[in-house]
Amino acid sequence: MNDKVIVIAGSSAGIGAALADTLARRGAKLVLVARRKGPLSDLVSRCGAGSVGLVADMTDREDVKRVVDETIARHGRIDVWINNVGRGISKLPTELKDEDVDLMMLVNVKSALYGMQEVLPHFKSRGEGQIINVSSMLGRVPMVPVRSAYSASKHFLNALTANFRAEVQETHKGIQITLVSPGVVATDFGNNAVYGGVDSRSIPGAQSAEDVAEAIAGAIESRRADVYTRPDGREMVVKYFSEL
């Protein structure tokens, strides 16, 4: 991990901020990306001299290109790119409007697609690199109807990640595309969901953001393709589908 150049998109709070703290302690050179300048500046100060903040909207492809270019200009390379931008929504599937679905696709899918596509030429030129897409257990098991559009967007992200990996690794085996699936995490995710929602920190069994960050750090070290942050994650998926 020492001296790896790692870009974390969506780093100003929650999993992203916890991950920044975790990787900074392990000696990574961090490029922290978020829309909000104030929280981002605070995080950079906390992570130390090896970190830099870039204010950018990762749902804007031009901003994503700028982050790639500025990171390479500063460090000469990117080793790991982490797509951690996401937002929830609280609406039953029978009540969804076009704009609800469009927003989930923009934030949860297109932000990751832009990151993957824009960093890929750099990784191909080096013959190595790792992209990490932060998904959700709801992208595996669509078991919360009020999270329908969020869950659907994460299913889309999962399929996109797997197919992107298959295509890229046909010619560039040294490039890994990793999918990480957290369960409920004790952050402001629920409070910040469109139309509001249950505070994620009040849900029994919620993981800490720090535990999820450790799992993502482990994915960087192991370069595994598919990672569950809960030890019982795979069993939960099998159990869900076996009971249908």
Residues belonging to the active site: 150
CA 146 to chain centre: 22
Taking alpha carbons only, the member of 14, 15, 236 closest to residue 143 is 236
Within 58-147, residue ranges assigned H as helices are 61-75, 98-105, 111-126
Taking alpha carbons only, the member of 208, 159, 165 closest to residue 187 is 208
Q: Are 210 and 17 in contact (CB under 8 A)?
A: no
Give the 3-state secondary structure of residue 66: helix
* Locus of tokens 């998109």: 9
Tokens of 173: 């085996």
Q: Are 138 and 153 in contact (CB under 8 A)?
A: no
Q: Are 85 and 11 in contact (CB under 8 A)?
A: no
* DSSP letter string, 149-160: HHHHHHHHHHHH
Distance in angstroms (rounded) separating the CA atoms of residues 182 and 213: 10
Distance in angstroms (rounded) separating the CA atoms of residues 17 and 135: 16
* Locus of tokens 């829309």: 35
